[in-house]
């Protein structure tokens, strides 16, 4: 067992499986398997032959909440929060650090030795609309959560017990937000929107659990940047964009004509494309 446990949830759909391949390939390319394991919680109906095998990858079957409870069937994103609240996730306490992230990400060579002193989060952009920021401020006051930060991202790295505590609070807040804020409708993006529930809950939970004792930077880096990877870029996220690198273009096969060996692996956008390669499934 290594010091760091990278953990994700892989559901039984092509997108989830393909995108996990990006994380896996970047983990291998950067030799991060020397310092971290990947612990994959997965839908038991998934064909495991489609998932990579490695001595430092552990697969844990975990039935998704969206299949267990009909009220969550509309929102499979909840599965990536729910699994960390289960007894099966207590295995992760054997690691000093948990790195909880999504599948559509790319590790850089800088990740290999990352061990932050304080909980480290990525950033997001769901609270760019005044309606969202106002609602998060209002709810923080109503719930007794002191608001230090907004736009807290989906990725976190911290001591293992801290991450599991955070996940429990995030899931609790998901349920409460759904009941109190969206009882009869779903709202509309980029305003207050039901389908961003896990991000709102994560923001509130991070403030509730860690207060001001968390840091940001180097995680969830923009995939569409044409800058060179710098020493503090640890992890790149496939944001929802049509700029290159765009996972939407990748899914359409729009990059299949590009010579992969001519890409600049030191440039963020081209590194992502180099890792992803051609879409073959």
Residue 281 lies in a domain: no
The per-residue pLDDT for 278 is 85
* Assigned domain for 135 exists: yes
Domain CATH for 269: 3.90.550
Residue 167 lies in a domain: yes
Residue 180 lies in a domain: yes
Q: What is the pLDDT of residues 135-182, one digit of tens each?
A: 999 999 999 999 999 999 999 999 999 999 999 999 999 999 999 999
Give the model confidence (pLDDT) of 184-219 as tens digits: 899 999 999 999 999 999 999 999 999 999 999 999
Q: Residue 98's beta-bridge partner residues?
A: 5, 158
Domains held by the chain: number: 1
Residue 263 lies in a domain: yes
Instruction: Tell me the residue range of the domain where 126 lies.
Output: 4-276
- Which pLDDT value is given to residue 120? 98
What's the pTM? 0.96
Asked whether residue 112 is assigned to any structural domain, the reply reads: yes
For the chain, the straight-line distance linking the first and the last C-alpha, in angstroms and rounded, comes to 32
Is 53 contained in some domain? yes
Our measurement of the distance from residue 53's CA atom to the centroid of its chain's CA atoms, rounded to an integer in Å, reads 21
The whole-angstrom separation of Cα 115 and Cα 242 is: 33
Q: Average pLDDT over the chain, rounded to whole? A: 96
């Amino acid at each position: 067992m290594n010091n760091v446990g990278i953990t994700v949830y892989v559901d039984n759909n092509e997108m989830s499986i393909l995108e996990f391949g990006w994380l896996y390939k970047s983990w291998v390319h950067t030799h991060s398997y020397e310092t971290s394991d990947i612990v994959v919680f997965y839908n038991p109906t998934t064909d495991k032959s489609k998932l990579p095998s490695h001595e430092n990858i552990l697969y844990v079957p975990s039935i998704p909440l969206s299949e267990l409870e009909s009220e969550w069937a509309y929102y499979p994103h909840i599965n990536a929060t729910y699994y960390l609240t289960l007894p099966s996730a207590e295995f992760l306490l054997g690691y000093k650090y948990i790195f909880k992230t999504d599948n559509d990400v790319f590790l850089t060579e800088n990740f290999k030795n990352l061990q932050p002193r304080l909980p480290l989060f990525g950033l997001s952009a769901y609270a760019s609309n005044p309606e969202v920021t106002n609602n998060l401020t209002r709810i923080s006051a109503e719930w007794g959560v002191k608001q230090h930060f907004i736009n807290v991202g989906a990725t976190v790295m911290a001591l293992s017990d801290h991450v599991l505590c955070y996940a429990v609070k995030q899931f609790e807040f998901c349920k409460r937000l759904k009941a109190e804020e969206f009882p009869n409708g779903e709202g509309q993006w980029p305003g207050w929107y039901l389908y961003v529930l896990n991000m709102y809950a994560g923001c509130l939970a991070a403030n509730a659990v860690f207060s001001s004792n968390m840091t940001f930077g180097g995680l969830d880096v923009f995939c569409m940047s044409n800058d060179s990877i710098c020493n503090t870029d640890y992890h790149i996220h496939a944001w929802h964009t049509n700029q290159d690198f765009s996972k939407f273009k990748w899914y359409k096969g729009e990059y299949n004509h590009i010579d992969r060996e001519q890409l600049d692996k030191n440039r963020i956008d081209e590194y992502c494309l180099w890792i992803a390669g051609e879409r073959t499934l």
